[in-house]
Amino acid sequence: MKNIIHKKSTWSPQTESYKNEIVLYDDNWNDFGYRTTFHMTFCDNNGEVKRIGDIKIYYWDFDEKRNLNYMTAVSTVLPDYIIQLPEKFCSLGQSLQFYQNLKKYLPNEYMYVLQRLNDIATNETLRQGFWQEDGVQTSLLRDSSAEKALYEAANLLLSNQAKENDISFIYSIEVPYSELDTEIVFDFSKTENLPFRMNALVGKNGTGKTQILAGLADSLSGLRDTAVQRNAKFVGKRPAVDKVISISFSAFDEFRKRTKEGDSDYYYSNSYVYCGIQTEKGTLSLEELHKNFKKSLQIIWEKGRNDAWENIMSELMEQEHISIIKNLMAQDEEKIHFSSGQHILVCTMTEVLANIENESILLFDEPELHLHPNAIANTMRMFYHLLEEFNSYAIIATHSPLIIQEIPSRYIRALTRVNNILSIHTPDNECFGENVTKITDDIFDVRSTESNYKSVLKKLSQKMEYDEILALFEGKLSFNAMIYLKNCCTRGNEE
């Protein structure tokens, strides 16, 4: 039987000096008043450290319903040596990876370890007994990855296979200008032979797409304070996903950004990752982006995702850049020799691949920013490949018809602002494979506002002849523009 030791200090590589023992290290992270987090490691017979992951331990007496001093850390009452936690304690690993690691490093004892720690994912009776406790709901189940572990860890340990879920959900949020809460149905139901892993939000600037994505990031991951400010909530059950990854190439997105531990705005979540070009302090420099890229590449290497990274990068980049990609993978290149747009794309998507897990949800705000139309098409192809490989899903906010033509209409939500009310509908016509011009007219409502080129041609027709205007463009005016000009000239002659 392995010893389970409670070490009343935070974990660092230098603190390990054990052999064949499990160690729980304190973490004073404040979960809305509860302090339940511990880091678990296993030191094998050679003293080599195996990181198992984060676990939260709840103590019945330290609950807001019973004790005004509930903010007391559980570590203050946890025994130094744990043979069996008393009945007032329960625990929950904070991700499926925790349970996978435990089984990997302790293949003959993992269930016994969970029993000693009163794990509620693998003990239905304990789960029912602690289910209604505020500290369990607020702290142990704060992260979406923890909720997923609660319902799926037992099956995963038994079968070594993760359960495939339909994560469709209804989300209610109050956008800044609206007088009413708006419900949005996100549909990820599998349709045979059709791409179903991506939903899109479209609409004019100011309709609330960015705010909805930011609210979703908080609500899905359990970072609820910002979500509460937007009066955001799920109608029904929160979908259980392993990771919530927000992605943006914009300097103006509203996602939570990365900060350093110790900062006043530092947050901690097993579920949430931001991949983009911002911090709370400002925009990352190319040097900082490259530093993050190297860290992400190292994680990809450690996770054995080398081939996946090379395949994804090969789909993103043009053929002439493949050799650069291979050199980056071999870590022979110190710098990324790409354009700024390519640089941002490569660095960000590398960070995504380093963090994505099975059944993650990716929230992508305007993927088209900084990208050439060819790169947009490549990005969409790569994105679908990534989602399939990791059995994951995405919600995208976009203004690009090139992106919309890759998504069946049933998975598109068009946002319209009518006075102070947000209206949401699914396009009447099928967008998948549709002509870009028609999508631009129908979905983005461009035809309702006269284009500048039409205004110019109309004014020219009032003072020049048709052939004279064609000569201004050296006879190279497009067929579409020529028809419009001809109509203007004809109407002018009739008047």
In this predicted structure, what is the pLDDT of residue 305?
Answer: 93
Query: Does the structure show a pLDDT above 50 at 25?
Result: yes
How does DSSP classify residue 410?
G
Residues 378/317, Cβ–Cβ less than 8 Å: yes
pLDDT, residue 230, reads 65
Name the pLDDT band for 378 (thresholds 50, 70, 90).
Answer: confident
pLDDT tens for each residue of 107-147: 999 999 999 999 999 999 999 999 999 999 999 999 989 99
H or E element that contains 459: helix 452-461
pLDDT at 399: 92
Q: What confidence tier does 479 reach under pLDDT thresholds 50, 70, 90?
A: confident
Instruction: State the span(s) of the chain assigned CATH 3.40.50.300.
Output: 169-446
- CATH class of the 169-446 domain in this structure: alpha beta
What number of other Cβ atoms are within 10 A of residue 18's Cβ?
Answer: 17
Mean pLDDT score across all residues of the chain? 86
The pLDDT confidence band at residue 29, using thresholds 50, 70 and 90, is: confident
Element (H, E) at 248: strand 244-248
Least confident stretch, 192-206, 332-346, 429-443, 449-463: 332-346
- Split at pLDDT 50, 70, 90, the class of 263 is very low
Q: How confident is the model at residue 266 (pLDDT cuts 50, 70, 90)?
A: very low
Query: Which tokens go with 476?
Result: 């190279």
Q: What percent of the chain has pLDDT over 90?
A: 46
Which tens digits make up the pLDDT trace of 71-81? Answer: 789 999 999 99
pLDDT digits (tens, 9 = 90+) for 173-222: 888 888 788 899 999 998 878 899 999 999 988 888 999 999 999 999 88
User: What DSSP assignment string belongs to 2-67?
Assistant: -EEEEESS---GGG---SSEEEEEE----BTTB--EEEEEEE-TT--EEEEEEEEEEETTS-TTT-
CA-based end-to-end distance of the chain: 97
CA distance 376 to 364: 13
Task: Please determine, for residue 248, whether its predicted confidence score (pLDDT) is greater than 70.
Answer: yes
pLDDT attached to residue 225: 54
- pLDDT above 70 for 359: yes
Residues 6+ apart with CB under 8 A from 61: 67, 77, 88
pLDDT for the residue 264: 42
pLDDT band at residue 157 using 50, 70 and 90 as cut-offs:
very high
When mean pLDDT is compared across 14-18, 247-251, 389-393, the lowest value belongs to 14-18
Which phi and psi (to 5°) does residue 448 adopt?
A: -75, -15
